[in-house]
């Protein structure tokens, strides 16, 4: 009986050792996971003025293009004036298509000085470009204006953001960021136009609306 106790003790010790070893390995793996995550995070490129502004442009681009695409073709020329809401004052306001075209034209005027692109003088007139009529044409024009915005953002550096661009007296930073602010202003109006037509804006779908 005494001879049997020694192997049992040895087996017990070996068993506890195996459990401890496994526990240690698991702990080491768990401990290394946060470190790996930190390493992955630090591997991300540091933000730049250009990348931050580009991100802002992407944000409004996503919202406003989705809103434009949400309006049906047969309602693209809708204006709140047509509703004749008692006590309201919508006489002469832009149609939905006019809102989209206005944003696109303004984007060109804001961002072209940064890229060196030219903008036709005729685009200064209301409802320009007048040759764009269909929903598809107008949305394509809108998307092209944001492509110009990304091109403009890429030109920004810490050395030139306070310099004027082209013939503009405004700084490069102002032109780049005010284009975003202006687009958000009209995006808010487009959202109301959608709701007046019983359409929930894409950004609000699945939320509290």
Contact 155, 54 (CB under 8 A): no
Residue 128: CB atoms within 10 A of its CB come to 16
pLDDT by residue for the chain (209 residues), tens only, comes to 444 443 433 333 334 344 443 444 444 445 555 555 555 566 788 999 999 999 999 999 999 999 999 999 999 999 999 999 999 999 999 999 999 999 999 999 999 999 999 999 999 998 889 999 999 999 999 999 999 999 999 999 999 999 999 888 999 999 999 999 999 999 999 999 999 999 999 999 875 55
Q: Which CATH class is domain 49-204?
A: mainly alpha
The DSSP line for the chain is: -HHHHHHHHHHHHHHHHHHHHHHHHHHHHHHHHHHHHHHHHHTSPPP-HHHHHHHHHHHHHHHHHHHHHHS-GGGTT--GGGG--TT---TTPPPHHHHHHHHHHHHHHHHHHHHT----GGGGSTT-STT--SHHHHHHHHHHHHHHHHHHHTT--TTTTTSB-TT-SSBHHHHHHHHHHHHHHHHHHHHHHHHHTT---GGGTTS--
**CA triplet 168, 171, 175: central angle to 5 degrees?**
80
CB-based burial label for 146 (10 Å; 0-12, 13-18, 19+): buried
Q: What pLDDT does 40 receive?
A: 58
Q: What pLDDT does 107 receive?
A: 98
Q: What pLDDT does 102 receive?
A: 97
CB-based burial label for 47 (10 Å; 0-12, 13-18, 19+): exposed
The residues near 156 (Cβ < 8 Å, ≥ 6 apart) are 49, 50, 53, 114, 172, 173, 176
Q: How far is CA 101 from CA 6, 119, 123, 175, 191, in A?
A: 90, 14, 10, 19, 15
pTM above 0.95, yes or no: no
CA pair distance 172, 157, nearest whole angstrom: 10
The residues near 194 (Cβ < 8 Å, ≥ 6 apart) are 67, 70, 71, 200, 201
């Amino acid at each position: 009986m005494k001879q049997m106790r020694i192997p049992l003790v040895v087996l017990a010790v070996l068993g506890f050792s195996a459990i401890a070893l496994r526990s240690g390995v698991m702990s080491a793996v768990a401990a290394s996971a946060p470190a790996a995550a930190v390493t992955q995070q630090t591997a991300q490129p540091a933000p730049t003025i250009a990348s931050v502004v580009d991100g802002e442009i992407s944000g409004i681009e996503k919202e406003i293009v989705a809103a434009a695409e949400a309006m049906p073709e047969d309602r693209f020329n809708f204006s709140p004036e047509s509703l004749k809401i008692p006590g309201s004052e919508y006489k002469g306001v832009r149609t939905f298509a006019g809102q989209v075209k206005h944003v696109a034209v303004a984007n060109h005027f804001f961002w072209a000085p940064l890229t060196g692109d030219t903008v036709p003088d005729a685009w200064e007139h209301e409802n320009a470009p007048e040759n764009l009529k269909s929903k598809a044409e107008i949305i394509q024009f809108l998307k092209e204006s944001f492509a110009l915005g990304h091109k403009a953002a890429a030109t920004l550096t810490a050395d030139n953001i306070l310099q004027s661009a082209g013939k503009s007296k405004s700084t490069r930073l102002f032109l780049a960021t005010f284009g975003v602010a202006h687009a958000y202003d009209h995006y808010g109006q487009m959202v109301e136009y959608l709701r007046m037509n019983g359409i929930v804006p894409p950004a609000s779908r699945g939320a509290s609306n």
